[in-house]
Amino acid sequence: MGFFIEALIGGLMTGMLYSLVALGFVLIFKASGVFNFAQGAMVLFAALAMARFSEWFPHWGGFDSKLLANVLAFIAAMALMVVVAWLIERLALSKLVNQEGITLLMATLGITYFLDGFGQTLFGSDIYKIDVGLPKDPIFLLESVFEGGVLVNKEDLYAAAIAAALVIGLSMFFQYTSTGRALRAVADDHQAAQSIGIPLNRIWVIVWSVAGFVALVAGIIWGSKLGVQFSLSLVALKALPVVILGGLTSVPGAIIGGLIIGVGEKLAEIYIGSKIGGGIEIWFGYVLVLFVLLVRPQGLFGEKIIDRV
């Protein structure tokens, strides 16, 4: 039983990180109505910026100076992501207002390749480390309940807590702020939102900036775990089934979908993969989503679209 709890906790923490990446997809889709294929590239670009800025800022020795360098690097990386968001809106999205969804989709594909190439040109293509002080030592929990306790990685625990706090904050932002309501209005109908005075350009800059912030946090966490390298952009592929499972327009859906897939793939790998040779974690989420879509095409929490003729 202790081993099952250990696997369950590991799956929940991994699922929360999937949810964090999936939030970037949901934010852009809610504001523009298009699936943002550039989210993975944004995670890589933000992580590269954080890693390189933390190297370039001076360290004067001791914990305080390292903390200061990381704080300055985070602020600089966030400022860079806001500039990227402004340029995306100014040079691409503002020219494509009220265009077909496929046009915006192709625009995000172009942004993906640009950010991948420009990020490596600007910051280099080596493997970089991000050290923000997250403890990496494992700890044992529930030793009085299970023999030997439950082994949990401290870094995963802290990362999951940070991701959960950010998810809760963004959910409240969408529900209880005027900007969040404006974002939902823009997602429903661009032209109607403009007709009642909602500045579409400003809303898109805000939502891409928020998505950039989410990408930066996700990039720091994944970069701390895996190192900052080109393959980091592929983390977004793990979040695709999360978004589809939860529903493209649902922030809570991204959370629940991430937890379901994180736990499901971990348990499937342990209890089924050991019998058939492993590798289930790679495709489990996609197969699960396929079966869910056969029953509920809009996802678990997505809005059902009804066309009246």
pTM: 0.82
pLDDT tens-digit map of 127-166? 888 887 777 777 776 666 666 667 777 777 888 888 888 8
Residue 47 lies in a domain: yes
* Per-residue pLDDT at 141: 67
Residue 149 lies in a domain: yes
When the pLDDT of each residue in the chain is averaged and rounded to a whole number, the result is 79
Residue 250 lies in a domain: no
- At residue 105 the predicted structure's pLDDT band, cuts being 50, 70 and 90, is confident
Domain that holds residue 160: 2-230
Q: Could you tell me what percent of the chain has a pLDDT over 90?
A: 2
Residue 128 lies in a domain: yes
Residue 247 lies in a domain: no
Residue 118 lies in a domain: yes
- Tally the domains of the chain: 1
Residue 176 lies in a domain: yes
Residue of 59 and 263 predicted with greater confidence: 263
d(CA 12, CA 4): 12
Residue 269 lies in a domain: no
pLDDT tens-digit map of 158-195? 888 888 888 788 778 877 888 777 777 776 666 777 77
